[in-house]
Amino acid sequence: MAYALPSGHSRLNVPEGWARTDLPGGNGATFTDKLNTIRIEVRPARAAPTVTTVLADVAAQNRTAAGFAGLAVSTVTRSAAAVVLARYQVNSPVDPVTNRYVKDDVERYEFFRAGSLALITLITLSAPHGSDNVDPWRRVTESFRWR
C-alpha cells in the first residue's frame, strides 16, 4: 500500500492492512501490525546526515533507553539515494501480563533532499534480536521516493 506524507515530500509502500497512526503536526505516520512498527517522519535539516552526525544523534536520543546497545552506523544505497543507516538494539516496553521485555532490533534510515530529512525507522518488536527482517525492511526502504 502506498503512503504519501501529508507534506507531499515523499512516499513509500507499507504492508497492506497495517494500522496507521498519524504523527502530531502531520510530519509522518506510524504503521503497526502485531508488534512490528514502521515509522516515517520528515523534519527540516540544515545539511545532509553523515555517519558521524547520525552516530551522535542516535546515541544522544537513546542515552536513557533501556538495553540500548550495538550501535553501528554506515552508508547504504537504496533506490532513492545513498542513505545513512543506524542499526542498534533496545529493550521493548515491559509486557504488563508477563512483566518481561524482549530485545528489539532497530534500523533507522536517513534520506536527505533539499533541506528535508526523512527518517524511516523500522522497529521489530515481535522477534528476538537477530530475527531475519532483511528482506521486508529492504522492500519498504527501496520503495521510498521523493516527490
Domains in the chain: boundaries? 2-146
Please give the pLDDT value at position 121: 60
Q: Residue 95 has what pLDDT? A: 84
pLDDT score recorded for residue 129: 66
Which parts of the chain sit beneath pLDDT 50?
Answer: 123-128
At residue 86, the pLDDT reads 94
CB of 5 within 8 A of CB of 40?
yes
Q: What is the pLDDT of residue 125?
A: 33
Quick one: pLDDT at residue 124? 41
The correct answer on CATH 3.40.50.1820 for the domain covering 2-146 is no
Given this model, what pLDDT does residue 136 score? 81
